[in-house]
Structure 1
Amino acid sequence: MSNQADVASDISPRSTSNSKSVRTPAFSEFSWIWVGLILLFAVSAVVAPGTMTRGSILAMLPFAGILAIVATGQTLVIQQRGLDMSAIGMVSLAGVVMARTGFGLDSIVLAVIFTVCVGAIIGIVNGTLVSQFAITPLVATLAVNALLIGGVRSLTGAVPVNVPIIMQTISHAQFIGLPANVLFAFAFVVTAWFITRKTAIGRRFVAVGVNPRAAEAAGVRVLQYRIGAYVASAVCFSAAGMLLAGFIGSASQTSGNDYLLPAIAAVVVGGTPFTGGKGSVIASAVAALFMAQLGQLVLALGAGPAVQLLVQACAILLATTVRHLPTAVRTFRKNA
């Protein structure tokens, strides 16, 4: 097992150590979001100072934390050259399952454990469809999402379900002045960062994303890591769904509607490419904060839903352009 870790840890560096010019843009890709976040807060302070008050920020942070958890799961899947479109159904289902089992079992702990297990099983289904049956991730996860939404409708009868008071208390709690949802998001992001960056499992995970064939030739069990990515994303979606349901006090089939495209946008804005391998859950989490504040700024300016989507699209386009600008400039200078 240790030999596999040593061999797999060499696969990723080989693809990026041929020239220093490959590693520098990678760092720049993940650091641009910090610059963008600072600029966004500066613009918000000037254009809509009401969004920068303590009350406004505390109202935005819980939703930013939930989005960061969803973006963390999406980042792990994208690092494996996949995409999980079942976020809407998973977030909605997790809230409903937690609420129903919380009242049924009279234990929020058992309800959380059961919900996470349900999420993990759905993740296995997604991963198996994509990895074992070679179904396109977009198609496979959209199909599963449709099944999940149907399941939620059957469980709720299209009527919102109340959430146990203890879960509402947890979601609304604050510690050292920060909302609990932010602290939960911090725990998820740090855990994912540590595993992917500081462990042998993480090195093999990155190696599979960079070059699955080379990783398999080195003895890495590629299938396990690909399925594992979808399991991890489903667990993240489940946690986000439970926290969201607790925060708003109810769970319904529409709870997860706002956590698919913004999460994917956060991953893209954070700098994680769809080519697999390299990625940063920290950058995705920061981008989630960026997207949440951007949405609050747009709302403060009186824009409607259509304008909000347009702003999100422009943010993705701008982030992609800026991220590749240094490489484009170097290429232009080289050819000039």
Structure 2
Amino acid sequence: MKKIMSDSSITTPEAQSTTPAPRQSVSLPSIGEFGWVWVGLILLLGISLVVAPGTMTRGSILAMLPFAGILAIVATGETLVIQQRGLDMSAIGMVSLAGVVMARTGLSHDSLLLAVAVTVGVCALVGIVNGVLVSRLAIMPLVATLATNALLIGAVRSLTDNAPVNVPALMQTISHAQLFGLPANILIACAFVVTAWLITRKTAIGRRFVGVGVNPRAAEAAGVRVLSYQIGAYVASAMCFGAAGMLLAGFIGSASATSGNDYLLPAIAAVVVGGTPFTGGKGSVIASAAAALFMAQLGQLVLALGAGDSIQLLVQASAILLATLIRHLPHVLHSLNRVKK
């Protein structure tokens, strides 16, 4: 016996021809969540070459790279803390204090090695204090590290009497040295960035570090010593700030209470432009370093155009906003396509 199919189950050629074709989704090329900073950097270099070609000469680039390297080291430390859902606002005081401690110790004992060792020890101690305040005492990172920053600035002023301190000649030689045609500062910065990348991406410690940042409770349930990683992030951050402070003091030739004033907000901006979210876990020190180069070149470009301080801040803020919007544009387009469907 033949089964009779209902009319609703029969699709005629005319019905097929009137079926609307699916809409084509609009999307940007997939270059990864941390890849957009490289696009922005290439665009900025191209704009600089057209608008202010003087900033793209070999001399200008070599003059900019040492400061970009110092900023990249600070941004690396800030990235590690933000990956643990924290924030370190003590960069100003730590950069200044590290330069002063290194200079005073080096001149007093005529030993740069001892000066560096003492400075590293001081930085580690400050990092432990920050980590304990945030992780153990549950004080908000913004409040805890700002308080630490105020104490550090006070300590620097007490040590210097608000007068610059000369830096040992050997440290100046190291900071001004060049290797393979590149400034030593940028090579040291690359060593910091690559080391941090290898530890966080290629080791078991790094995987646990990322896991603590993603979900501390789940990591603790899995047997990970969460407190150690959270405090360790602040220790690593303080040591990065200290290394940047020593290199900056050596490059300038003196250390003072105001040495670190220009390295807090640009470092945080570099982390944001590089794509590290404040939700923890995810992050890329390499992207933050590229964003530090972006920020340094942007400052060079704005200065070359003769803009005032207010215009410089406006341009930098606009560039940061544009970089953030470009990075999130694929998600916006995907959401719009879902609404249309």
TM-score by length of structure 1 reads: 0.92
The match for 1:65 among 52, 64, 69 is 69
Deviations 1:171-218 (A, max 9, x none): 000000000000000000000000000000000000000001100111
Q: How does 1:78-117 map to 2 (within 5 A)?
A: 78-117=82-121
Match of 1:136 among 140, 143, 148: 140
Q: Using a 3 Å threshold, how does the CA distance of structure 1 residues 242 and 135 change in structure 2: closer, same or farther? A: same
Which of the numbers 260, 264, 270 marks the counterpart of 1:256? 260
For residue 28 of structure 1, give the secondary structure of its aligned residue in structure 2.
Answer: coil
Equivalence for 2:318? 314
Amino acid at match of 1:283: A
Q: How does 1:154-165 map to 2 (within 5 A)?
A: 154-165=158-169
The alignment's C-alpha RMSD in Å is: 1.2
User: Using the alignment, how far apart are the partners of 1:198 and 1:192 within structure 2?
Assistant: 10
Does residue 301 of structure 1 match 2:298?
Answer: no
SS of aligned partner of 1:182: helix
Q: Percent identity?
A: 80
Cα offsets for 1:135-170 (capped at 9, x unmatched):
000000000000000000000000000000000000
Residue 281 of structure 1 aligns with which residue?
Answer: 285
- In the TM superposition, what are the counterparts of 1:316-335 in structure 2 within 5 Å? 316-335=320-339
* Residues in 1 aligned to 2:312 and 2:295: alpha-carbon distance in whole angstroms: 11
Give me the whole-angstrom Cα distance separating, in 2, the residues matched to 1:59 and 1:102: 26
Task: Supply the distance in 1 between the matched residues of 2:56 and 2:181 (Cα, whole angstroms).
Answer: 16
Amino acid at match of 1:224: S
Counterpart CA distance in 1 for 2:338 and 2:156 is 56
Query: Which amino acid is 1:64 matched to?
Result: A
Aligned partner of 2:146: which letter?
L
Rounded Cα–Cα distance in structure 1 between residues aligned with 2:187 and 2:231: 27
Asked whether the equivalents of residues 79 and 275 of structure 1 are also in contact (C-alpha less than 8 Å), the reply is: yes
Report the Cα distance in structure 2 between the residues aligned to 1:110 and 1:67, rounded to whole angstroms: 25
Task: Assess if the C-alpha contact under 8 Å between 1:71 and 1:263 holds in 2.
Answer: yes
> Which residue pairs with 1:188 in the alignment?
192
Shift of 1:95: 0.2
Question: Deviation per CA, 1:281-327, whole angstroms, max 9, x where unpaired?
Answer: 00000000000000000000011222222122112211211111101
Range with bigger deviation, 306-315 or 293-302: 306-315
Distance in 2 between residues matched to 1:224 and 1:47, nearest whole Å = 49
| Whole-Å separation in 1 of the counterparts to 2:230 and 2:319 | 29
Residue 34 (str. 1) matches residue 32 (str. 2): no
The whole-number CA distance in structure 1 between the counterparts of 2:226 and 2:319 is 34
- Tell which structure's C-alpha radius of gyration is larger: 2
**5+ residue gaps in structure 1?**
1-23
AA aligned opposite 2:191 = A
The one-letter code of the counterpart of 2:65 is L
Change (3 A) 1:35 1:46: same
In 1, Cα distance between equivalents of 2:324 and 2:137: 32
- The change in CA–CA distance for 1:25 and 1:267 in structure 2 (over 3 A counts) is farther
Q: 1:277, 1:149 → 2: CA distance?
A: 31
**Taking structure 2 as the reference length, what is the TM-score of the superposition?**
0.90
**2:153: which partner in 1?**
149
Match of 2:231 in 1: 227
Q: Output one character per residue of 1:208-237: Cα deviation in whole Å (capped at 9) or x when no partner.
A: 000011001111110000000000000000
Alpha-carbon contact 1:29-1:270 (below 8 Å) kept: no
Q: Residue 28 of structure 1: CA displacement?
A: 2.3
The answer to which structure has the higher helix fraction is 1
Contact preservation (8 Å) 1:92, 1:241: yes
Give 1:26 deviation, angstroms.
9.7
Supply the distance in 2 between the matched residues of 1:140 and 1:181 (Cα, whole angstroms).
Answer: 30
